[in-house]
């Protein structure tokens, strides 16, 4: 089936490249879940876990809640005696660990999902959501073919692997893997929301 390339002389042996034997895999230090959001007609890259200090994973949702506590959203208006009893909100954004993947069509007609950004209003000013996970290549354009993210979604991990070579040396590297996701989801992103105003507290 195979032979060595060269001057055409037939060889009585074949070279086999070394393959990896038993390897140890650590827990993921990053986990990104790609999912479809039919309500928003787009997809999301949810940073479930982020690489923290000492290469320990940090829960993305808990990190968002800590950030939200330090950067609260502007409070809603309060109802007055002669004023309106409802108020209008242009947008209710998704959490900052939900990275938008926006549909885009290439000149040749191919459909892609492009990593985008999102603005979250806070009491200290607007905050621009950007990717932090290395799996999403922060700082560089990031595209996925549209069909890569099915309705079941995709779960991608980045983790350490360790193995020994034939001469006994220890090898350690960062590996990546992906598999089936957990189905579609909803980010909570909404536009043009009308809500009831709350009454001002009594003095």
Question: pLDDT tens digit string along 50-100?
Answer: 998 888 899 999 999 999 999 888 887 777 777 787 888 888 888 999 999
Parallel/antiparallel/unpaired status of strands 125-129 and 86-92: unpaired
CB atoms < 10 A from the CB of 120, how many?
A: 17
Residue 46 is predicted with a pLDDT of: 94
Mean pLDDT of 134-163: 92
Rounded to the nearest angstrom, the gap between the alpha carbon of residue 109 and the centroid of all alpha carbons in its chain is 25
Each residue's pLDDT tens digit, 149-169: 998 899 999 999 998 887 778
Each residue's pLDDT tens digit, 12-55: 777 777 777 788 888 999 999 999 988 888 899 999 999 988 88
pTM for this predicted structure: 0.79
Residue 201 is predicted with a pLDDT of: 55
Residue 60 is predicted with a pLDDT of: 92
The stretches of 34-85 forming alpha helices (DSSP H) are 60-70
């Amino acid at each position: 089936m195979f032979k060595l390339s060269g001057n055409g002389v037939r060889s009585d042996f074949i070279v086999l490249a070394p393959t990896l034997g038993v390897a140890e895999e650590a827990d993921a230090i990053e986990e990104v879940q790609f999912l479809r959001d039919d309500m928003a007609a787009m997809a999301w890259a949810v940073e479930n876990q982020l690489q923290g200090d000492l290469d320990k994973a940090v829960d993305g949702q808990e990190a968002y809640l800590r950030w939200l506590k330090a950067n609260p959203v502007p409070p809603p208006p309060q109802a007055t005696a002669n004023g309106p009893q409802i108020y209008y909100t242009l947008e209710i954004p998704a959490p900052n660990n939900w990275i938008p993947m926006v549909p885009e069509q290439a000149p040749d007609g191919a459909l892609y999902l492009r990593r985008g950004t999102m603005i979250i209003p806070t009491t200290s000013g607007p905050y621009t959501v950007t990717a932090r996970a290395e799996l999403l290549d922060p700082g560089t354009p990031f595209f996925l073919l549209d069909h890569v993210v099915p309705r079941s979604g995709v779960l991608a991990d980045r983790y350490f692997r360790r193995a020994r070579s034939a001469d006994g040396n220890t090898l350690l590297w960062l590996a990546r893997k992906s598999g089936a996701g957990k189905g579609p989801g909803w980010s909570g992103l909404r536009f043009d929301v009308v809500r009831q105003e709350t009454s001002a507290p009594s003095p």
